[in-house]
Structure 1
């Protein structure tokens, strides 16, 4: 298994319960495929450098996890179809 970092931005108007549900979904996807979530935390609401999907602000969330490449593909697929997520990036950590 390899270490990864996932940074994603959700819509700023989401409530705490909706954000927690998305964070839990990320953890469930990683764990269901045999991975391990080391850390997941909210960075808070921040101004975006440029407008994304009509939003100037977003709530940033960082997740660090270890997993095999198929987990990353599934996470990528799930985040693409999640309407609340306006941008995300998965990088392999060193």
Structure 2
């Protein structure tokens, strides 16, 4: 298993239930496919450096996890097709 770090920015227009639902969906995707979440941190609403889709704020979430490469590819695919995700980044942190 490899170590990964992902940060994603959710739309500020989502209500609390929708936001929590998306966060749980992403966490469950990792765990159900044999991954392990090592660190999870919700940064909350913050001002964006530049407007994205005419929005100036976003809800930031940082997550560290261990998994196989297939899980990170699937997570990226889900980020891309999910409405409400403004930006995302997944990086490999092990050597």
* Range of TM-score over shorter length: over 0.9
Aligned to 2:8: 8
Residue-by-residue CA offset, 1:20-58 (whole Å, 9 max, x unaligned): 111111111111211011122210111111111111110
Distance 1:28 1:69 in 2: 16
- Deviation of 1:16 (Å): 1.8
Secondary structure in structure 2 of the residue aligned to 1:45:
strand
Distance 2:39 2:9 in 1: 16
Q: How many correspondences in the alignment?
A: 94
Structure 2 unmatched ranges of 5 or more: none
Secondary structure in structure 1 of the residue aligned to 2:43:
strand
Q: Which runs of structure 2 are paired with 1:62-77 in the superposition (5 Å)?
A: 62-77=62-77
Aligned to 1:59: 59
- Is the 1:23–1:40 Cα contact (8 Å) retained in structure 2? no
Q: Give the aligned CA root-mean-square deviation in angstroms.
A: 1.0
Give the ranges of 4+ consecutive aligned residues of structure 1 lying more than 4 Å apart after TM superposition. none
- Is the 1:41–1:62 Cα contact (8 Å) retained in structure 2? yes
For normalisation by structure 1, the TM-score amounts to: 0.94
Distance 1:36 1:55 in 2: 32
For normalisation by structure 2, the TM-score amounts to: 0.93
